[in-house]
Copies of this chain bind each other. A is one copy, B any other.
């Protein structure tokens, strides 16, 4: 904790701030400069809003110097985490593709999807069973019946399963049928859900919220890890900006930044990141070139008739092309594919 006093701060103001810091449990070192007095506080607090001190009289600014996350930081495990699901390793040399439809619709649809996914060389199938939608008048997902269908199709094709958990009450179902539990962008700061996922012993994939900073994403991972579940995968899927030619603006630089800040695997979702099928391939290539450990993409046997997210869903032949090209790019930057 560094507190910088204003140029004209009085002795009384400085002492009041010191008193406050001591009261909060900090040991304080004072450093008097030519223009500014700086107070260094060493203390026990993990969660602290610097604004609490910045509103005190005479304070210019306050900087937290200890990261608010620990378990998720790169220094906690410099070699990097590899999340393993059977033979699948996320965070290792190989770039892992996770693909499938937005929603699980029918047995035939998910079976065909699994075949497409497996044939093209992907290792994980995705598909949602719970689909609360932005309109109250839409398809809401098949629930447990859908999870059974995706599990069976995955098993037939030797795939692992990733599926979204929307609420803590759904955790037991997801643990039963899915290999990776996905937390959607809108739930990234659903702290109750994150806490419950900390008690689970299956990998959790956390998607970045559309208005979340990378520090906030890492704090969400910390939430899960602080419960004892260290198998967390982070996913960039686009942030909201002023640009409207894509649904969101995919922040590709999040990938190298996260790889530096944390030991956790980082994957990218170019389907939600762009919202339009034609941009999914180039953005998948960009993500792999920038160092992503995996991709999460939507593919459907017949995207024009998908019940949800059709516009951003790849056709089977596009997906095959994506798999070929990402393998070539992965090889070019020295990764397996």
A contacts, CB < 8 Å to B: 2, 4, 6-8, 20, 29, 31, 33-36, 38, 40, 42, 46-47, 49, 51-52, 54-55, 60-61, 63, 65-66, 68, 75, 132-138, 166-169, 186, 189-192, 194-195, 198, 209-211, 213-216, 219, 222-223, 226-227, 239-247, 249-257, 260-261, 273-279, 282-283, 285-291, 304, 309-312, 325, 328-329, 331-333
A190 to B190, CA, bound (A): 10
B245 touches A242 (CB 8 A): no
A213 touches B52 (CB 8 A): no
A147 to chain B, nearest CB (A): 17
Picked from B55, B75, B169, B195, the residue with its CB within 8 Å of the CB of A311 is B55
A2 to chain B: closest residue by CB: B2
A315 to chain B, nearest CB (A): 10
A40 touches B42 (CB 8 A): no
Q: Which residues of B contact A241 (CB under 8 A)?
A: 239, 241-242, 249, 251
Picked from B29, B38, B279, the residue with its CB within 8 Å of the CB of A257 is B279
Q: Which residues of B contact A222 (CB under 8 A)?
A: 135-136
Q: Which residues of B contact A189 (CB under 8 A)?
A: 134, 186
**27 CB < 8 A contacts A-B:** A2-B38, A7-B75, A31-B31, A47-B133, A47-B134, A49-B310, A51-B275, A52-B310, A132-B192, A134-B219, A136-B191, A136-B223, A136-B227, A167-B192, A211-B211, A213-B242, A213-B244, A215-B245, A239-B243, A246-B257, A250-B253, A252-B286, A257-B279, A285-B290, A325-B332, A329-B333, A331-B332
A93 to chain B, nearest CB (A): 17
A63 touches B289 (CB 8 A): no
* Copies of the chain in the assembly: 4
B75 touches A195 (CB 8 A): no
A151 to chain B, nearest CB (A): 23
A332 to B330, CA, bound (A): 9
B240 touches A134 (CB 8 A): no
9 additional contacts, CB 8 Å, given A166-B192, A286-B286? A29-B31, A35-B66, A55-B310, A136-B223, A136-B226, A215-B245, A285-B290, A286-B290, A289-B329
Q: Max chain B CB contacts within 10 Å: which of A20, A75, A210, A240? A: A240
A141 to chain B, nearest CB (A): 11
A168 to chain B: closest residue by CB: B167
A252 touches B51 (CB 8 A): no
B253 touches A283 (CB 8 A): yes
A185 to chain B, nearest CB (A): 10
A261 to chain B: closest residue by CB: B245
A254 to B246, CA, bound (A): 9
A124 to chain B, nearest CB (A): 22
Picked from B34, B60, B279, B291, the residue with its CB within 8 Å of the CB of A253 is B279
